[in-house]
Amino acid sequence: MDQTVTEENLQQICAKLSDTEVAVNNELDLILSRYCHVEAKLQNISKVLPNLTIIHSEADKLGEMITFTNRLAENVSAKVRRLDLARSRVSECQNRVHDVLDLQLCSQGVATALRNEDYEQGAAHVHRYLSMDRQLLERTAQDVSGDHTSISSSLVTLQQAAHQLRTVITHKFDEAVKDEDLASVERFFKIFPLLGMHNEGLSKFCQYLCTKLQETAQKNLKAALDAKQTDKRASVIYADTMTLLFEGIARVIEIHQPIIETFYGPGKLLPTVVILQKECDRQIKKIIREFMVHRNVSKKVHAINELLRKQSADKIDPKDLDLLLGEITIMHSRAELYIRFLRRRISNDLEIGVANIDQRKDQLQEFELYIGKSELAHAMQELLGAYLALERYFLEESVNKAVGMDTLDQDQQTSSMLDDVFFIVRKCVRRAISSWSVDGVCAVVNMACGILEGEFASQLRSRLRQGYPAGYLDLAQAYNALQTSIQHGRLQASDTELARLMFLAYLNNTDVSIEHVETLTKSLGEEIATAFPNMREKERGKFDSCLAGLRGVTSTLRAVVDYGLEQLRASAVKPRVTPWVDSFLSLNHHINEDELLGYETEEPFVQTLVMNLEGLLQVFKGGLTPSNYDALIGILTAEVTARFEKVVLKSTFNRAGGLVLDKEIRALAGYLAAATSWSVRDKFARLTQIATVLSVEKVEELADYCGADAVAWRLTPAEVRRIASLRTDLRPEDIKRLKL
Amino acid sequence: MEDYKFLFKVVLVGNAGVGKTCLVRRFTQGLFPPGQGATIGVDFMIKTVEVENEKVKLQIWDTAGQERFRSITQSYYRSAHALILVYDISCQPTFDCLPDWLREIEEYASNKVLRILVGNKIDREDREIPTHVGEDFAQRHSMYFLETSAKEAENVERLFMEIAAELMEQARSKELPRYETNATSINGKTTSIGDSSNCSCSRLT
């Protein structure tokens, strides 16, 4: 109400005040109306108040009761706990009594068993004794020391019995081994683990198996040495002996692994194999020694190395090495097979026996290391070394022989050396694959590359270097002469004829050998993939690299083909084509309308040229492989067009002459295009365009031909002007004025 | 399609135990594995390096030094672009065998092969062959020379990088048509290595 009271708002203020009054009245009414209600509540409260004291005292009582119960419960549980302890002690005690009873039983049993020689029973008793907590037993013995029970004496008895049994079993086992009593050997072998002698048992048993292996192996080796030369398997007798040894060991493992697993637990194959491998190594060494001596391997390798150094007359016939090479690869592959068998078996055994993956890996690694250092691996490396030295000689000498005995059949495009060489190369690599040695295969592939790129390629090249002798004036004539001489049964063709045929054959040899190398690489890749199904990354890399090297031989061979074709061009194509094309110069190219008609029907120049070319090609058509023949036509086309261009530029024409030329060039291009599967259009481009220039009606037409948009136009403006000026009927001023 | 412009084959030879495998491992994997077993036959590793902004793939063939692997290892000489002949500076016999190795190289390798003499194990204190003796030998037989330590990673990177650079230089100056296998010259021998057409290189013959 802080407004200043004025006349004007007096009314307003009054209204406001009365409003406020009404509101206050209302509020007061509301409060009054609640009075009754509040009064009632207060009365209620005063009525309930005494109850509260009762509740309080009751709650106190409850609390006391709970505390009491709690104490009681604790007391009870402590008793229970004590009871439990007592019960467990009783049970332990029971166990101990059991053990003690068993101990006594065992000690008595052992004695009886020993007396009765029932070693299984005895060992079972000892096993029971060994499974007891020995320290506890000893303490028990001390605890009851006052009482003269038989516990300590039982312990002593059992200890003695165990010791005695161990000695007896060992002794009995040795005796059984000596008596070759297999049943007893196996019987005692099963007892060892009961006596806690796992390692001793395994090692003793394996030693026994080793002696068995040794006997068989010696017998086999002796049989091999005594085998007659006429024996069917005489040539592979050492490989057979080795195979028998491996098979023997594999069989031993096959038979005894289940027994070992049952009585000694899984995961024991690795130590078993380690012991057996020692015997294997000893026997392999013996076999290899005999093999080396009786097959003269070292002597042969030595002789071959000598031969490679200095060419001597008395060479070893590669054929004589064939059987030996075969035997070595068999030996190597058998050893590889055997190692794969061991690896597989051990890895399976470890999978069951060793839960930890890292440990498993370690053990496998241990096996790899062991086998890698073994005498067997060493022997395999020696074998491979000898094999490669011999195979290299075989490959080189056989290829040399094939090249030396090269013959050419009249109806063949290639000579015998081609197929022979590739047959030998394939045979050698295949033999290497059969050895199952990655390095061996790679080495032989490398050798094959060497010989193909070296000796083989240089043979091809040197024959082609002698060139294609063009003795006859006309090649068709030469060919006919040869044909008649063959028909008349005079097989000895003259030197020139023979040289010519040989040249073509070698050109074909080279061409076909490119194909052969490609096929060989592909098929060897497939064969290798089949022979080595589980190649590791690195091994695959080795193969790929070596095979890529083999494929690379094709580029050397392609260079030789190019060289041969160049020779052919120089001696057979160029000298013949030049005079044929040059005859164009002696012709008149200023033709009147009447003559033009005659030319249109006859085309005398080009008909003769085509006939000559046909004659030339005919000689080669049957004699060259399709791709060489195509290449020859390519060379011929290049030669003809180049020469033709030269002679055209030396001639002069009128329009009719130009038209005739244009027609003749089309006919020539048509003929050559029909002769080959390759396109010759490109080679004729310039020539056709020259003819176009020479056959224009008016100089102005030229501008259309060689305008900027003519992409395929090959002639420069200067050349166009020069060619146009050959037309005597065109005015030089017009040509000069021409804007190109 | 692998992305490299040149592929070179490098072959390491030398007596057993001079550290060929360690040199290769050091270069390709940056490791020095002590107590390495003897190499069996041949092993190979690949490393692509960059020389003058060009990718160069080195195919490194690590051969076994022992006599009985000779027939395997010899077969790799022919196609090698570079031969690294290794000896152990702390072991006179490995140096004494060098002439035998050279004879073998003469016999089997291409005569234009890049030859490098490497004296390894310079971390050893019991040196038997002074640097200048190795140098002399290399010079007499026109070989490159370098002393290395695979253990301390000394000069190993340099050895292979210089080989890569030198081989690239040779390849560039020798043969022009490097990319098309069928565009070979008649007199020059051009062999492409590698399986894709755009990554071949010339042989140094």
Pairing mode, if any, of strands B114-120 and B6-13?
unpaired
Predicted confidence (pLDDT) per residue in A90-112, tens digit:
888 787 777 777 777 777 777 77
Q: What are phi and psi of B84, to 5 degrees?
A: -100, 115
Structural contact between residues A249 and A338, judged by C-beta atoms closer than 8 angstroms? yes
B181/A555 touch (CB, cutoff 8 Å), yes or no: yes
Predicted confidence (pLDDT) per residue in A535-573, tens digit:
888 899 999 999 999 999 999 999 999 999 999 898 888
CA distance B42 to A541: 12
A381/B68 touch (CB, cutoff 8 Å), yes or no: yes
Nearest to A556 among B75, B189, B193 (CB): B189
CA distance A402 to A406: 6
Predicted confidence (pLDDT) per residue in A491-539, tens digit:
455 677 788 888 999 999 999 999 999 999 999 999 999 998 888 888 9
- Write the CA distances from A585 to A274, A543, A581, A704, A727, integer angstroms: 93, 62, 8, 30, 15
Q: CB-hemisphere CA count at 13 Å for A188? A: 25
Query: What mean pLDDT comes out for the span A111-117?
Result: 74
Pairing mode, if any, of strands B54-63 and B42-51?
antiparallel
A549/B79 touch (CB, cutoff 8 Å), yes or no: yes
Classified by CATH at the fold level, domain A587-737 comes out as Methane Monooxygenase Hydroxylase; Chain G, domain 1 (1.20.58)
- Max mean pLDDT range (A465-479, A614-628, A710-724): A614-628
- A-B contacts at Cβ under 8 angstroms: 93
Structural contact between residues A688 and A666, judged by C-beta atoms closer than 8 angstroms? yes
Which range (A247-251, A341-345, A551-555, B186-190) has the least confidence? B186-190
Query: What mean pLDDT comes out for the span A425-449?
Result: 94
Question: Radius of gyration (Cα) for chain B, nearest Å?
Answer: 17
Angle at A476 between CA A473 and CA A477, to 5 degrees: 60
pTM for the whole structure: 0.77
- A369 Cβ under 8 Å from any chain B Cβ: yes
pLDDT tens for chain B, residues 1 to 205: 467 888 999 999 999 999 999 999 999 999 888 777 888 889 989 999 998 888 999 999 999 998 889 889 999 999 999 999 999 999 999 999 999 999 999 989 988 899 999 999 999 999 999 999 999 999 999 999 999 999 999 999 999 999 999 999 888 887 544 433 333 333 333 333 333 333 333 333 3
- Residues from chain A that touch B182, judged by Cβ atoms under 8 A, are 555, 558
Q: What is the pLDDT of residue A727?
A: 86
- Residues from chain A that touch B68, judged by Cβ atoms under 8 A, are 378, 381-382, 385
pLDDT of A586 higher than 50: yes
Q: What is the pLDDT of residue A376?
A: 92
Pairing mode, if any, of strands B114-120 and B144-147?
parallel
- Give chain B's domains with CATH numbers: 6-204 (3.40.50.300)
Confidence of residue A149 (pLDDT cuts 50, 70, 90): low
A444/B75 touch (CB, cutoff 8 Å), yes or no: yes
Element containing residue A703 per DSSP (H, E): helix A701-705
The chain A residue lying nearest B107, using CA atoms, is A309
**Strand order of the sheet with strand B54-63?**
B42-51, B54-63, B6-13, B82-88, B114-120, B144-147
- B198 Cβ under 8 Å from any chain A Cβ: no
Q: What is the DSSP string of A159-191?
A: HHHHHHHHHHHHHHHHHHHHHT-HHHHHHHHHH
More confident residue, A535 or A157: A535
Domain positions in chain A are: 18-144+166-195, 587-737
Query: What mean pLDDT comes out for the span A251-273?
Result: 86
Exposed, middle or buried: residue A500 (CB in 10 Å: 0-12, 13-18, 19+)? buried
- B35 Cβ under 8 Å from any chain A Cβ: no
pLDDT of A625 higher than 70: yes
- Write the CA distances from A620 to A410, A676, B20, integer angstroms: 14, 13, 56
Chain B interface disruption, residue of A446, A449, A553, A555, most B CBs within 10 A: A555
Q: What is the pLDDT of residue A398?
A: 92
Share of chain A above pLDDT 90, in %: 32
More confident residue, A596 or B135: B135
Predicted confidence (pLDDT) per residue in A629-652, tens digit:
999 999 999 999 999 999 998 888
Q: Which residue has the tokens 């390095």?
A: A439
Average pLDDT along chain A: 84
Q: What is the pLDDT of residue A410?
A: 75
- B16 Cβ under 8 Å from any chain A Cβ: no
The chain B residue lying nearest A447, using CA atoms, is B75
- Max mean pLDDT range (A399-408, A439-448, A471-480, A483-492): A439-448
pLDDT of A473 higher than 70: no
Q: Which ipTM score applies to this complex?
A: 0.82
Q: What is the pLDDT of residue A456?
A: 93
The single-letter DSSP state of residue A436 is T
Structural contact between residues B4 and B48, judged by C-beta atoms closer than 8 angstroms? yes
Structural contact between residues B38 and B73, judged by C-beta atoms closer than 8 angstroms? no
CA distance A70 to A72: 5
Structural contact between residues B90 and B126, judged by C-beta atoms closer than 8 angstroms? yes
